[in-house]
Amino acid sequence: MESVLRDFVSIFPGLEVFSHMSPLMGFTRVFLIVFGFVLCYLGYKNILEPLIMVPMGIGMAMVNAGMLMMPDITDPSRHHIGTMFLNSMLEKPNEIVDAFQVYFLQPIYTLTFSNGLIACLVFIGIGSITDLSFFIANPRMSLLLAICAELGSILTFPIAMSMGFNAKQSAAIAIIGGADGPMVLFASLQLAKELFVPISIVAYIYLSIVYAGYPYLIKLLVPRYMRGVTMEQFSIKEVSPFEKIVFSFVAGTVLCLLFPVAAPLFVSFFLGVIIRESQITRYIYITDNVILSGATMFLGFTLGCLLSADIVVDPKMFKMIILGFIALFLSGLGGLFGGLIAFWVSKGTINPLLGIAGVSCVPTTAKVAHKCAQEVNPQAYIMMYAMGPCIAGVITTAIITACYVTLIPKSGL
Amino acid sequence: MGMFIKSLLFSLNIYIISTFIVLIVIGLINILNRLIVNNKNN
């Protein structure tokens, strides 16, 4: 009976591979298939960010279902548990070229993830949908709120160091606190390539949870009457497209000059902004509908496909889950603290929820701030005001990332 | 503990440098705003 069952199972390599893995790995594999479905469902229901969670959930479920015993690329006589999706562990050029002919996602991973191109493509798209008006009209308030909301990117670094990560790994993990997905990808590729996959996955899962979790933090820390401030007395001066183009050109050039290591991100973001403000409709269509949508879909799908059972059972993953939570919690806390200071300094004209928008996750945190204000006072339309700190958050996260990338090798840590 | 304090000081250093650069960006935007508004008025 047992041999009949074994023969039957051997017809299906995806089931047979269970016999080659430990019970923990087998359980994790089944858990990730179910977890992928749950993420996909929560994305479909708009509880989590659908643009990332739907492709990520599908990738996560399918990659863990589709495991089989694969011949080794370097030595075909040896076999290991793998998939037909991609292999993120290859480093030698000839192995990578061979992998192009085996794994269907390998070209996308090697040519867009390994060099950070996917982060730059997302940044071009974000730039092309970003209106800098409020940010340029009120740079001081926007940037000061955003720098308060970087608390997690700063304080997570020593916590990660004390949990056993080295300086480069700690900095890459700390950048999760900036709540900027492309920046996390870029930082982990620059600082800790070996942790790129788990850091990116933890970051993107948390960034989606931000949408559901931050409203509770807001309700806990900001009194109801403050949440409903309409900001009517706070005027926004009109900013012309020319001013936005000049700012993008000058700020982009200065930031590239100061931090050449982060120049690809700066140039991508400001290229998107300048395309938008130049009103080149064909380019705007391509950057928004093709580049941003395409890059986001492949980003979510490829990250999901990278989350196989062997990565989850790594003990470092558990630490990163805790650190990712700490980073985003501290950033939210710092942002709200900055917002409360702004409320008191402005004698009640600035809505303190603008602080949470400084956690840069464009435009999610601005939407969270707006939604929480509307719940208390339907007259409080703070979305356009919240976009200022939100965009400033992208710039401050880029600055902090650039500081870490530049200064860590010189720090001796 | 020593490593924690050392890394905390390093990260605070990063925060101070970043805040300084943010102040430069604020100054830059204010200068640009003034230049462009003055040109418009002229």
- Rounded Cα distance between B30 and A46, Å, is 40
User: For chain A, what is the radius of gyration of the CA atoms?
Assistant: 23
Written as one letter, the residue type at A325 is F
With tokens 């890394």, the residue in question is B7
- Rounded Cα distance between A105 and A36, Å, is 18
Q: Cis before residue A363, ω within 30 degrees of 0? A: yes
- Rounded Cα distance between A396 and A368, Å, is 20
Q: What is the pLDDT of residues A322-372, one digit of tens each?
A: 999 999 999 999 999 999 999 999 888 888 999 998 887 777 888 889 999
What whole-number percentage of chain A has pLDDT above 90?
31
The pLDDT value recorded for residue A200 is 87
How long a stretch of residues is chain A? 413
In angstroms, what separates the C-alpha of A412 from chain B's closest C-alpha? 10
- Rounded Cα distance between A281 and A42, Å, is 34
Beta bridge partners of A79: A71
The Cα diameter of chain B in Å comes to: 61
Contact A195, A173 (CB under 8 A): yes
Cβ-defined contact of A143 to B25 (cutoff 8 Å): yes
- Rounded Cα distance between A180 and B25, Å, is 20
Query: For residue B34, what is the nearest residue in chain A, using CA coordinates?
Result: A243
Q: What is the pLDDT of residues A147-158, one digit of tens each?
A: 999 999 999 999
Cβ-defined contact of A147 to B18 (cutoff 8 Å): yes
Beta bridge partners of A26: none
Predicted confidence (pLDDT) at residue A2 exceeds the cutoff of 80 = no
Q: Give the best residue of A132, A135, A162 to mutate against chain B (max B CB count within 10 A).
A: A162
For residue A224, give the nearest of A215, A236, A233 by alpha carbon.
A215
- Rounded Cα distance between A177 and A183, Å, is 11
Class of residue A286 by CB neighbours under 10 A (exposed 0-12, middle 13-18, buried 19+): middle
Residue A411 sits at the chain B interface (C-beta within 8 Å): yes
Written as one letter, the residue type at A275 is I
Cβ-defined contact of A403 to B17 (cutoff 8 Å): yes
Mean of all residue pLDDT scores within chain A: 87
User: How many Cβ atoms are within 10 Å of A261's Cβ, its own excluded?
Assistant: 15
Contact A149, A392 (CB under 8 A): no
The pLDDT value recorded for residue A411 is 82
User: How many Cβ atoms are within 10 Å of B28's Cβ, its own excluded?
Assistant: 15
Phi, psi of A150 (to 5 degrees): -100, 10
Q: Measured between beta carbons, which residues in chain B are less than 8 angstroms from residue A148? A: none
Report how many Cβ contacts below 8 Å link chain A to chain B. 87
**CA–CA distances in Å: residue A14 to residues A76, A80, A320:** 20, 13, 29
Q: What is the pLDDT of residues A372-411, one digit of tens each?
A: 999 888 888 888 888 888 888 988 998 999 899 889 988 8
Contact A139, B29 (CB under 8 A): yes
